Chains A and B, each alone.
Chain A
């Protein structure tokens, strides 16, 4: 099973600042990596797939990068609605696996 490690566990950021979230895979997943956003009481929402492609309706302030084992989600200028938990997921191998998440909260 591929282990996905996200860091940091919690990221405190002020509105308008940049946030950088990391995700590392225990072995290469090529570019088969997705990022999801989850707010309290809501289902996860797909943000990024294929490591860097924004899903439909996702604002341009969200960007993904990386390939192989190292990936990054960047939120260029945090808005109030962006404070949430973010998960990475690999879909290169079975079983599909998620990271434990990074909580982005207000500094």
Chain B
């Protein structure tokens, strides 16, 4: 079964840092671009960051650029999100997601076919 499991969320003060992890299983992790998407309480989905299968390509949403860093470890089948200088408005449920097809990144990319259940980050 294809599965993504996020961890690392919690309560953190403004200005502090937090690192999220996403453990993948059931598919060839190193073949797929991976992404982080967040959802503030009661709000819609916001694309946060993406990384190519080989870590050469990365992209960020405007609201997190310069503060968040996405990375991956293909040997560990894991995706990460380093979040620095956290703000109250970063409070959200953070999902990791994978591309539908292997080998996509850049423009155009691909849809997200598998999502984790999310990890909650509260900045207060």
Chain A interface (Cβ < 8 Å from any Cβ of B):
1, 30, 32, 34, 36, 38, 43-46, 49-50, 55-56, 85, 87, 89, 91-101
Contact = CB atoms under 8 A, between A and B. Distances in A.
Nearest to A90: B108
Contacts, number: 72
A103 to B, nearest CB: 10
A73 B113 CA distance: 17
Contacts of B73: none
A96 B44 contact: no
B113 A46 contact: yes
A46 B45 CA distance: 13
Interface in B36-85: 37, 44-47, 50, 59-62
Nearest to A50: B111
Interface in B15-51: 35, 37, 44-47, 50
Interface in B67-115: 95, 100, 106-113, 115
A94 B59 contact: yes
The main secondary structure of chain A at its interface with chain B is: loop
Interface residues of B, number: 25
A95 B113 contact: no
Contacts of A98: 37, 44-47
13 contacts: A34-B111, A44-B37, A46-B111, A49-B113, A55-B111, A87-B44, A89-B47, A89-B111, A92-B107, A92-B108, A93-B108, A96-B50, A96-B109
Given A95-B60, A99-B44, A30 B108 contact: yes
B111 A43 contact: no
A43 B62 contact: no
Contact of B100 (A38, A49, A101): A49
Contact of A94 (B95, B107, B110, B115): B107
Nearest to A98: B45
